[in-house]
Amino acid sequence: MYIYGTSVLDFTNVSWLTHSKDAEGLWDLTQHYLGWEFYRQSPWHFPLGLADCLYSDPVSIVYTDSIPLFAFIFKILSPILPETFQYFGLFGLMTYMLTGGIGALIIARYNSNPLYSSISAIIMAISPVLTKRMFYHTALSAHFLILMAIALWIYRDDLFISQEAGNKSRLKTSYILLWSALVSSSALINAYYTPMVLGILLLSCLQDLISSGWYKASILRTLTCLVPSLLFTIVIAYAFGFFYGDVAPSTVGLNSLSFNMNQLINPTNYLCNISNYTYSFTKQSYSAFLPDLAVASGWQEEGFAYLGLGMILAFIIMIILITIYHLQPETSSLTALVSEGYSWVISVIVGLIIFTFLALSPVATAGNHIIYSINYPKAIYRILSIFRSCGRFIWPVYYGILVVTLATYAKIAGRVQLSGVNRKNMLAKNILPALLICICILQIVDLYPSLRYKHDCYHQDFSEYESPLNDPAWNELGTKADEIMFYTPSVYGMECNPELSCIFEEYALEYDLSLNITYMSRDMSSFADKKTMKHFMDRENGLTDESIIYIFYDISDIPPAAQSHLNYYLINGYIVGSDLNLENASRYNP
């Protein structure tokens, strides 16, 4: 409530969504909202996630980052919802609640004292990686999915494994169903979370295999949990159109949209601004105390993972406590402190290494220095490029560090409470809670600049949306047209002009038009090019169409009127082609 206020929770308030440029200088949130509007107004298709009018053919809602799970639920409820409706504020509130709540649940596994769970909930909920994404990339702020996967792993032995005759154990059906639901729902929030959640599932299976001595029974348990999760997720993905249409699964940017080795202690955050077909970066600091550190490029904003000064100090102190503090003989190592055994430690270390390796990309950097570069075969590189913003894979490592650090403090405190009364234990019993409270306060103070920045972005009066397309000619065009065609999409690519896309998406919604290409998470310009160029070849042969509005990117690449058979106009700064004769519009001679 402090950061975003209550206005974002008003289901009928969309001004902050249509004016997201005024909030953080970014068009992403507007694009996410418009994706929902197109999906809501589209008839039902199969696959269920298809939306009309965003492309020349139906395209899945997953590529507009409009939180497909929520879009699907509220599309079902659409007949009883207000004409203007948004769910992004609700999703944001739910994200903060679940992040803090599941974080508290995890720590409660190690100490039932609510002090430790409450402090942990606060630290989890104000994590900089969450603050950065909300509402910039709303679906990508669902970090509770990672925490829920960690919680299922941690609570597995307590709740989800039953003992059979002969001391054999088996997974309860509820455990298998929970993992299947979590993995598949992650795909319906944002597909980047799916490999993260699956990776944590595999790590929990690895622990089972190691601790059971790689027996046939443990391998069977692993397959029993893994296979249903994979199959259910594939079915859900198919049903929502992940594999439908012209969308290319992989794209460019794998080497640059990465994690930098200093970003766990680097408070530097970058925001990518796209305007007039150019990229620029706004630099911010998320710390009140620590200096900004160099990174290879602004594109490494995707690997932003600042822990916060409080948690950095907490981690250092944890290492010291593990090294020198011996409450009891069995508490002299991290393995004993978490009381999970060597199999747990090995699984955690394996996970940290693999996720960090993926996040670093094939070109690993520390500061502005390249550490190594791997030249993968094209096939492997293409597979990895499905998740091109690989820096995001540092998130399981990030939350793993938070969980291990906070759980260690909770576990030490729990052991102190259970041990005999002596001077050493009494001192620890009094110091540990105070230390954790000080860490929490330091964390809040250090991160205050980021919280204040978000507060100022969203605590402003957003005016009602007014289209820049205010020339009366647009009304004449819109009432007589069915489609907007951009020529040619790949001259610059709609991926490089989200503002243009959002402006004309708003216009298309107002006049019930379709577009041949829009700004989405995957650039489909190459596919749109082929269809557009074929259309103009048909125009050369005399096949005109008054139902299409043509918008031209590049004034140096406009087909001559004798070739296209179009009338050209300059309307609100846009070069427009039409078969209509607009009397009150300014003519343009290319």
Residue 109: both structure tokens together: 């596994």
Whole-angstrom Cα distance, residue 197 to residue 403?
16
Whole-angstrom Cα distance, residue 464 to residue 453?
23
Whole-angstrom Cα distance, residue 445 to residue 435?
15
Q: Taking each helix axis from N to C terminus, what angle separates 395-418 and 342-360, rounded to the nearest 10 degrees?
A: 150
Number of C-beta neighbours around residue 260 at 10 A: 29
Coil, helix or strand at residue 468: coil
CATH 3.40.190 spans which residues of the chain? 472-587
Closest-CA residue to 136 (of 460, 499, 467, 457):
457
The pTM (predicted TM-score) of the whole model is 0.93
Residue 302: both structure tokens together: 């995707």
User: What is the predicted pLDDT for the residue at 376?
Assistant: 93
Closest-CA residue to 348 (of 306, 264, 309, 405):
405
String of DSSP letters for 107-137:
HHTT---HHHHHHHHHHHHT-HHHHHHTTTT
CB contact set of 574 (below 8 Å; sequence gap of 6+)? 469, 551
User: What is the predicted pLDDT for the residue at 159?
Assistant: 72
User: What is the predicted pLDDT for the residue at 419?
Assistant: 52
Backbone angles phi, psi at 191, to 5 degrees: -65, -15
Backbone angles phi, psi at 564, to 5 degrees: -90, -20
User: What is the predicted pLDDT for the residue at 425?
Assistant: 59
CATH class for domain 472-587?
alpha beta
Asked if 64 contacts 190 with a C-beta cutoff of 8 angstroms, the reply is no
Burial class (CB in 10 A: 0-12, 13-18, 19+), 50: buried
Q: pLDDT digits over 441-469, tens only?
A: 999 999 999 999 999 999 988 888 889 99
Show the DSSP H helices in 46-172 as ranges.
Answer: 68-76, 88-108, 114-125, 128-133, 144-154
Whole-angstrom Cα distance, residue 129 to residue 192?
15
Give me the amino acid identity at 77. Answer: L
Asked if 260 contacts 266 with a C-beta cutoff of 8 angstroms, the reply is yes
Asked if 459 contacts 5 with a C-beta cutoff of 8 angstroms, the reply is yes
Residues of the chain with pLDDT under 50: 165-166, 327-340
